[in-house]
Every structure is written in structure tokens, then in C-alpha cells.
Amino acid sequence: MNPEISLVITTIQPPNAVLATYARECATRNIRFIVIGDEKSPPDFSLEGCDFFDPGRQAEQGFTLAPLLPLNHYSRKNIGYLHAIRSGAKIILETDDDNAPNPGFFDLKPVSRIVNTFHGEGWMNVYRYFSDELVWPRGYPLHLVREPALLPEHFHEEMATCPIIQGMADGAPDVDAIFRLTRPDPGPFLRKPDLALGNNTWCPFNSQNTTWSAPAFLLLYLPSTCSFRMTDIWRSFIAQRIAWSCGWNILFRGSTVTQKRNPHSLMHDFRDEIPGYLNNPAIAEMLSDLQLKPGEQHIARNLVKCYEAFVAQGFMEPAELTRVSAWITDVTT
């Protein structure tokens, strides 16, 4: 087993074809495969090739954060990240149980390399870079979705350091409920060169196809006093803001998974996305205005400062600060 690479997925489903594929592919590559269950997970969950943690086993790992996290919430995935880190991971891959791997999912690229980079203040719809259709990522401001796509002359090849990489998803990509209620799923994303976003350029990214390198592990934290539909999106905004203070870029690449979406109530999704529809532009402005200390050595303090701002503005509950503190303790000790 290669302890330096881990794949983390959370599920409440019985073992399915997607999970079986990941178990087989991880075994072939000697990658540790961690599956985090929840209260609704089958009590007899068993899949050869994965390390499954039900809530009871999660509680036995000795993490400060574990007893503070709510049951039946996606944020329990944090326990998987912590287990991977404690096991010696230098790279953490994450996806979901309804995202089947395409060729390239396990391909790892250098953190620092020459890539197309976009510099510009404000919001960029990266989906429009990878698609000719009108499509936008979950969390993108609705009043901007009809803005024209940026053309290649806006991008410049340069050296970028990208410890966080978001991949696209074909099939049923990660769009919001308004898109799904009003439009059919888009076609496959275009096969285009990777794209890095520079400082002050916002685009939400999710937890469905993301690669994290060790310097950014503290930014993996998924908040738990917000809805399931906002936890990874608001995490992405915080991660972007702190990445800028470290001189990092967020990298987006083409599709390396195909989603066959688990059943959802679109109206429930819509309800849980309302805080984002109403507040994401203001949240980005709030984070941009924060005075963060530059450098990787200040990531922990900057993380706390970002969550303090969320709590002060009423976007999250005060309990989030206790959980963030516990997370930092578990990652750093």
C-alpha cells in the first residue's frame, strides 16, 4: 500500500458499481481507499479493497473533531481526510459514490508547472471555458450566468503553483438546482488545456472530483453548520482566498469522472442552495476584504479568521469555530 496517496469518498449507499470500480483501481495502484459512512449507511457494508468507517469506528479514531460533527451531514467526510493525513498521505483524491472514474482520474501532475493562467478581478465561469453551452457551476452568481465566455487571448502561459485541482464531471455535472429545474444536462465538457485562476478571480469548486496536495490539507475542512449544498462551495471560497495569500493558483482541468447522479429532490436542493444564491457575491467580497497574513505558515490562523467572518455575518453558527479549532489540532498534531 502506498501511504502517500489516498482516495476519500463518503456514502450512505450499499456498495455499488462505482465504489467497486474505485476499490479495484485503487488496489491496482496501491492507493489507500477510505470510505466514510454515516448513520444511514448499511450496517453490513462490506467491500473488498476499501477501508470503511461507520460512525462507531469514526469515533474510535481519537480525533478531536469526530464527536463534534453532526450525524447525517456531508461534513463527516472530514474524518476521512484526517485518517488519510494521519496515515501519511501527501496527496488526497476525493470524489463521490456516483462519479465513475474516466481515464486520467488517477493521473497526478506536478504541483508547479507552466499552464494557461487567467488574471482578472471578479468572477469567472470556468465551465464556459470547458463548454460551448450556457452552463455554470453550483455556487456561481446567478446574475452573471449570461455573461459571455472569455476568449483565449485572456489566458497566458506561465508557471503556477496549484496544490488544489478541480476536475470537471461529464454526464450530470455539478450544476445548481435552478439549472436542473430549467435545462437538460449539458453535453460532455470539451477536452481543453488545464486552466489556473490567478489572485482575485473567483470560481466555486466542489468536492466531487478534487485533488489536494499536502501544503493545502488544512483547507480541506468542510463546515457543518451550513447546508449540504453549501458546505463544499463555501469551503472553496475560503480555500481560494487563503491560496492567494500563499501565492497559489486554483487549477481546473477537464473531465476525469462521469456522474450518474444519485436520486435527489431538486426542490430540496433548491431550498438548501438559497443561502448561496442570495449571498455568494457578498461572501466573496467579505473574504476579499479580510487582511490575511501572507505565507503557508499562517494558513491555520487565516482559516480561523475566515470562519470568524462567516460566523460574524450570520452565515454559520458559533459552533463552527470550535470545530475548526478541533480540525486544526487534529491536522497539525
Distance between CA atoms of 71 and 37, rounded to whole angstroms?
10
Claim to verify: residue 75 and residue 139 sit in the same structural domain: no
Give residue 263's pLDDT band: very low, low, confident or very high (50, 70, 90). confident
Supply the range of the domain harboring residue 317. Answer: 106-332
Q: What is the mean pLDDT of residues 60-72?
A: 95
Q: What is the mean pLDDT of residues 8-36?
A: 95
Q: Give which of 212, 216, 283, 221 is closest to 244, Cα–Cα.
A: 216
Instruction: Could you list the beta-strand ranges (E) of 178-302.
Output: 195-197, 201-202, 209-213, 250-259
Distance between CA atoms of 231 and 130, rounded to whole angstroms?
24
Claim to verify: residue 93 and residue 110 sit in the same structural domain: no
Claim to verify: residue 179 and residue 296 sit in the same structural domain: yes
Domain end: 72, 97, 122, which one? 97
Claim to verify: residue 64 and residue 140 sit in the same structural domain: no
Decide which of 122 and 261 is more confident. Answer: 122
Give residue 261's pLDDT band: very low, low, confident or very high (50, 70, 90). confident
Burial class (CB in 10 A: 0-12, 13-18, 19+), 141: buried
Is pLDDT above 70 for 2? Answer: no
- pLDDT on residue 175: 97
Helix axes 228-245, 266-289, angle to 10 degrees: 20
- pLDDT on residue 295: 97
Claim to verify: residue 84 and residue 112 sit in the same structural domain: no
- pLDDT on residue 267: 96
Claim to verify: residue 80 and residue 115 sit in the same structural domain: no
Claim to verify: residue 158 and residue 288 sit in the same structural domain: yes
Distance between CA atoms of 268 and 265, rounded to whole angstroms?
5
- pLDDT on residue 262: 79
Is pLDDT above 80 for 178? Answer: yes
Q: What is the mean pLDDT of residues 166-178?
A: 96
- pLDDT on residue 298: 98
Give residue 1's pLDDT band: very low, low, confident or very high (50, 70, 90). low
Claim to verify: residue 147 and residue 270 sit in the same structural domain: yes
Q: Is 156 helix (H, G, I), strand (E, B) or coil?
A: strand
Cα dihedral: 250, 255, 172, 224 (round 10): -30
Structurally, the chain folds into a number of domains equal to 2
Claim to verify: residue 110 and residue 74 sit in the same structural domain: no
Claim to verify: residue 149 and residue 93 sit in the same structural domain: no
- Inter-residue contact 121 to 283 (CB < 8 Å): no
Enumerate the β-bridge partners of residue 93: 7, 211
Is pLDDT above 70 for 224? Answer: yes
Domain end: 97, 132, 165, which one? 97
Q: What is the mean pLDDT of residues 49-53?
A: 95
Domain end: 70, 97, 124, which one? 97
Burial class (CB in 10 A: 0-12, 13-18, 19+), 163: buried
What is the bridge-based pairing of β-strands 250-259 and 99-101?
antiparallel
* Distance between first and last Cα of the chain: 24
Give residue 299's pLDDT band: very low, low, confident or very high (50, 70, 90). very high
| 274-298 tens-digit pLDDT | 999 999 999 999 999 999 999 999 9
- pLDDT on residue 205: 98
Claim to verify: residue 125 and residue 264 sit in the same structural domain: yes
Q: What is the mean pLDDT of residues 307-329?
A: 98
Claim to verify: residue 34 and residue 130 sit in the same structural domain: no
